[in-house]
Amino acid sequence: MSSHHSPASKIRAASLALLAGTALLTAGPLPGPAAHADHPAGHGAPAARPSYKPVVLATINVGLNPRAVAFDPDHETAYVANAGSNTVSVIDVETRKAVAAIEVGKFPYGVAFVRDGDFVYIPNRDSDDLSVIDTHTRKVIKTVTVGDAPRWVAIAPDGRHAYVSSTGSGVVTVIDTATHAVTGNIPVGLSPRGIAFTPDGRTAYSANSDSDNVAVIDTRSQKVAATITVGDEPRGAFVTPDGRTLYISNTIGGTVSVISTRTRTVTDTITVGANPRGLNLYRGGRIAYVANSGSDTVSIFDTRTHRVLGDVAVGDDPRWTASGPDGDYLYVTNTGSHTVSVVTVAR
């Protein structure tokens, strides 16, 4: 898809204009070095770091009960899987309006772009298949049978394979993106949900909601190399760009597990809102977002201290997220209100 007319700079400018009038966060600032004894506060001490808070920039109407959302590689459009209407909404990023609806299978859930944005993969939970959409014609060109109750889909960093969590089968289904054909199934655990890859593509992680663990998949052997016990009913998975940290949202536990990918151990647990699901990062990676479906909020936390910095009300039952250009803002699907919230961080 061409990037010659990308609207990212226009959206960024509009967002900054709106944020100029936003008040500062009432919660404390990001932790900084303590004032030196020779420079007490107010007498040459380092200036306090700014406070941060999440804010809603806009709300976009889509189809019924939206689940996952993803931007195309050029951030010109975003595709939203509408589980309640068996459609995929196409959002024009510049106008922030849905401009098309594409009929797919039953209860579409995940969304992922493949082959430089030429195609979109949509797992359909209730028809046990995956719709392949041609983004140029906006039509389904192929339907691929996968496992039972597929939900999430993630693309390997090299773009050659897609991993689909077949929740009812307890496997991750592997698809060759060149042929749109299934090449294998990896048993991972009970009710796999979210999937995330390390940047080098050598490892993938599957959040197994009924096993309360994460399967560590060796993508070369396509076998589980280890499992990591986390919180109650893990669903969302997100690996940081440096590949060092894995975040897992524990939906019933109301927490986020922080995992070292090197040691494969949980290093911290963050209490967030009720029923957390989608995870993502704000520009620069210092702040993370989590969508809390049970409290109708999006929380942000400091990725160094793991301290929750604040939250903002969005729509009803927020589920999954997608990061906009350069991480400047976030799309959040609101399943109960049939909308997408556009969220960013103000300071």
All structural domains of the chain with their residue ranges: 8-346
Kind of pairing between the strands at 53-61 and 339-346:
antiparallel
User: 14 near 21, Cβ under 8 Å?
Assistant: no
Query: 98 vs 94, 120, 172, 298, 338, CA distance in Å?
Result: 11, 17, 31, 22, 12
Distance between CA 292 and CA 273 in Å, rounded? 5
Distance from chain centroid for Cα 328: 14
pLDDT at 347: 87
Distance between CA 71 and CA 158 in Å, rounded? 18
pLDDT at 39: 36
* Chain segment 263-300, per-residue pLDDT in tens: 999 999 999 999 999 999 999 999 999 999 999 999 99
pLDDT at 28: 38
pLDDT at 130: 98
Cβ-based neighbours of 21, under 8 Å, separated by 6 or more: none
Distance from chain centroid for Cα 148: 22
Q: Which amino acid is at 149?
A: A
268's tokens: 């911290």
Task: Look at the domain 8-346 and name its fold.
Answer: Methylamine Dehydrogenase; Chain H (2.130.10)
> Angle 227-293-81 (CA atoms, 0-180°, nearest 5)?
85
Backbone angles phi, psi at 164, to 5 degrees: -120, 125
Name the stretches of the chain with pLDDT < 70: 1-50
User: 150 near 195, Cβ under 8 Å?
Assistant: no
pLDDT at 10: 53
The order of strands in the sheet holding 53-61 is 53-61, 339-346, 330-334, 318-323
Distance between CA 16 and CA 273 in Å, rounded? 27
DSSP state of 325: G
User: 112 near 162, Cβ under 8 Å?
Assistant: yes
* Chain segment 4-28, per-residue pLDDT in tens: 445 555 555 555 444 444 433 333 3
